[in-house]
């Protein structure tokens, strides 16, 4: 009977599947024979190319590369391995198998290490996608004494992670020196992230007029509601959307880490500071780019907008198939993607802000203002499905500016941006103190209980449900918006004026009422 394989040749690493990082064991066997390199364990192209990168790095760092046959196994075999993240653990495993680095059975200082990193031809350890995801998975599932060696180039994203369990490496030789003598050649840990600072950005005071739209932005920011703006070109819809994120409060430490993990899985730098992310994909974005997935399990724009704002400009120009994929994430706050090769879940707690023109020509189709035929208008508006519109809380007309404001430098009317931000923060505190979540996240029955409807408001909602043909979902969304309006006013319950204002943001008539979006207002 043959002896068991020595555990010292096994090196721990982690794969990346969505935002999860399952454990992978790298095993090296030197059976002798003609020179060759065999890599097994379902490696994709980038992993198979590790053969040449690892060989060059080992030789250029002054180590001896084995002359015979080399067999490297990535276990478990049924897990597809992708990317160059296994270069460093493969190199360490080969050097251990050739006794150029000390064997490290589990339970020893070297055996309680995991490695992730791409290698350059001269041994430098390069940035690798998903290091923060691997660190969080290790902290959640791995043994308490286990630590993770990651590229020093990823130190920026790791400041919000479990720093005590992370070690930074910039070169293969520094890893080798550490494995030989951990006390005399230690690897540094990533520095703790500095206290996030609020980054300055565009302010709502920059927008002249559009007081109804500004009020809708404040309500959306206070309760986490979705928002649709309808109006002709040049009325400020994009300007307004870009200023919503400045009304939102800074993210706390846990939510900053959630956002950073999504960007780490995508291989992108996280938004600076503690500001909520703002994503504005072009209308040519494909369904996988919008919701995630594709050939590799990458997060899409809705996950990159997690805890922030997703702005879809020119909404009807997006593919209807892509827009319809937003329905479930708008309700569940997560997106589940099932493909033949993987099943992943990405966070999607975002606020949708959309903008569109009333018709293809940009104006409502009347005889004097537009060249579009009625059928063209119906086809244009039908590109946005009714179920998607039903999930958007606030429908806001954005009319053209009055002539006297077109050359003005200041508005002077309505609350300032600073006042709006203070009101939003106070309203959010009331919601978290009362129910532990934002109003937009309330379930139907809970929304009715929290609203504390007055008799007048209850009767008004019942009449409006029939007049505006509100679905049960639509009625509950009106109720949540009214609760946010009451919170902005500091009211303990929802009264008639609160509900009336919420209904006003839901009463846009898609057959006739879009003319309100192009009528000039004083």
Using 50, 70 and 90 to split pLDDT, how confident is the model at 513?
Answer: very low
Q: Which pLDDT tens digit goes with each residue over 144-163?
A: 888 999 999 999 888 888 87
**Three-state secondary structure string covering 229-261:** EECCCCCCHHHHHHCHHHHCCCCCHHHHHHHHH
pLDDT at 416 over 90: no
Q: Which of 99, 70, 74 is nearest to 86 (CA)?
A: 74
Using 50, 70 and 90 to split pLDDT, how confident is the model at 409?
Answer: low
pLDDT at 49: 92
pLDDT at 174: 95
pLDDT at 348: 94
Q: Which CA distances in Å does 411 have to 229, 284, 384?
A: 21, 35, 34
Using 50, 70 and 90 to split pLDDT, how confident is the model at 395?
Answer: very high
Q: Which pLDDT tens digit goes with each residue over 165-217?
A: 899 999 999 999 999 888 888 899 988 766 655 556 677 877 777 888 889 99
pLDDT at 106: 56
Using 50, 70 and 90 to split pLDDT, how confident is the model at 121?
Answer: very high
pLDDT at 442: 86
Tokens 């008799």 correspond to: 455
3-class SS of residue 35? coil
Q: What is the dihedral of CA 313, 349, 214, 401, to 10 degrees?
A: 0
Query: What is the rounded CA–CA span in Å between residue 47 and residue 16?
Result: 13
Average pLDDT over residues 430-438: 91
- The proportion of the chain whose per-residue pLDDT surpasses 90, expressed as a percent, equals 48
Q: For the chain, which domains are there?
A: 7-180 (3.30.230.10), 204-517 (3.40.50.300)
pLDDT at 123 over 90: yes
- State the DSSP code for 284: T
* Burial profile 28-50: b = 16 or more Cβ within 10 angstroms, e = fewer: beeeeeeeebebebebeebbeeb
Q: Which of 116, 117, 125, 104 is nearest to 173 (CA)?
A: 125
Most confident option among 104-108, 251-255, 291-295, 332-336: 332-336
Most confident option among 60-74, 103-117, 374-388, 399-413: 60-74
pLDDT at 1 over 50: no
Please state, as a whole number, how many other Cβ atoms lie within 10 Å of the Cβ of residue 406.
10
pLDDT at 207: 77
Cβ proximity of 513 and 357 under 8 Å: no
Cβ proximity of 345 and 336 under 8 Å: yes
Query: What is the rounded CA–CA span in Å between residue 192 and residue 196?
Result: 11
- The proportion of the chain whose per-residue pLDDT surpasses 70, expressed as a percent, equals 89
Q: Which pLDDT tens digit goes with each residue over 464-502?
A: 877 777 888 888 888 899 999 999 998 888 888 888 888
Those residues whose C-beta lies under 8 Å from the C-beta of residue 353, and which sit 6 or more positions away, are 220, 226, 227, 228, 229, 241, 244, 309, 310, 311, 312
Q: Which pLDDT tens digit goes with each residue over 239-267?
A: 899 888 888 998 988 899 999 999 999 99
pLDDT at 5: 46
Average pLDDT over residues 229-248: 87
Average pLDDT over residues 401-430: 76
Using 50, 70 and 90 to split pLDDT, how confident is the model at 366?
Answer: low
Tokens 């000039």 correspond to: 520
pLDDT at 127: 94
pLDDT at 108: 62
Helix spans in 267-373 (H): 287-291, 301-304, 320-324, 327-332
């Amino acid at each position: 009977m043959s002896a068991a394989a020595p555990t010292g040749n096994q090196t721990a690493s982690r794969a990346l599947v969505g935002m999860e990082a399952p454990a992978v064991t790298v095993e090296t066997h030197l059976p002798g024979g003609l020179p060759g390199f065999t890599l097994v364990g379902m490696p994709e192209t980038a992993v198979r190319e590790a053969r040449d990168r690892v060989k060059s790095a080992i030789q250029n760092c002054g180590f001896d590369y084995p002359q015979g046959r080399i067999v490297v196994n990535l276990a478990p075999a049924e897990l597809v391995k992708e990317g160059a993240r296994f270069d460093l653990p493969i190199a360490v495993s080969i050097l251990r198998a050739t006794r150029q680095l000390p064997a490290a059975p589990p339970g020893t200082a070297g055996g309680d290490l995991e490695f992730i990193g791409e290698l350059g031809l001269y041994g430098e350890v390069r940035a690798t996608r998903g290091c923060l995801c691997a660190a969080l998975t290790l902290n959640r599932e791995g043994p308490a004494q286990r630590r993770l060696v990651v590229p020093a180039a990823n130190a920026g994203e790791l400041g919000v992670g479990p720093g005590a369990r992370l070690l930074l490496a910039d070169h293969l030789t520094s890893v080798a020196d550490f494995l030989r003598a951990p006390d005399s050649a230690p690897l540094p840990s990533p520095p703790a992230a500095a206290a996030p600072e609020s980054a300055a950005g565009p302010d709502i005071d920059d927008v002249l007029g559009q007081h109804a739209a500004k009020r809708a932005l404040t309500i959306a920011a206070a309760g986490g509601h979705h928002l649709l703006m309808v109006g002709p070109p040049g009325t400020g819809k994009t300007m307004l959307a870009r200023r919503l994120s400045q009304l939102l409060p800074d993210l706390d430490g846990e939510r900053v880490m959630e956002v950073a993990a999504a960007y780490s899985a995508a291989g992108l730098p996280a938004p600076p500071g503690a500001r909520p992310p703002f994503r504005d994909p072009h209308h040519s974005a494909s369904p996988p780019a919008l919701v995630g997935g594709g050939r590799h399990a990458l997060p899409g724009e809705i996950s990159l907008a997690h805890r922030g704002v997703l702005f879809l400009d020119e909404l009807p120009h997006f593919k209807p198939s892509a827009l319809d994929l937003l329905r479930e994430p708008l309700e569940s706050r997560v997106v589940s993607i099932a493909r033949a090769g993987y099943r992943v879940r990405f966070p999607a707690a975002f606020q949708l802000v959309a903008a569109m023109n009333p018709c293809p020509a940009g104006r409502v189709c009347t005889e004097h203002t537009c060249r579009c035929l009625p059928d063209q208008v119906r086809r244009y508006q039908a590109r946005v499905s009714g179920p998607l519109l039903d999930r958007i809380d606030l429908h806001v007309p954005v009319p053209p500016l009055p002539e006297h404001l077109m050359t003005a430098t200041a508005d002077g009317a309505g609350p300032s941006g600073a006042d709006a931000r203070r009101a939003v923060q106070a309203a959010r505190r009331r919601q978290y103190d009362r129910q532990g979540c934002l109003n937009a996240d309330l379930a139907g029955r809970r929304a009715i209980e929290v609203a504390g409807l007055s008799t007048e408001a209850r009767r008004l909602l019942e009449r409006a449900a029939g007049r505006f043909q509100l679905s049960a979902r639509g009625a509950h969304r009106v109720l949540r918006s009214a609760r946010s309006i009451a919170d902005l006013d500091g009211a303990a319950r929802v009264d008639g004026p609160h509900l009336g204002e919420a209904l006003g943001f839901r009463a846009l008539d898609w057959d006739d009422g879009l003319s309100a979006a192009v009528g000039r207002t004083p």
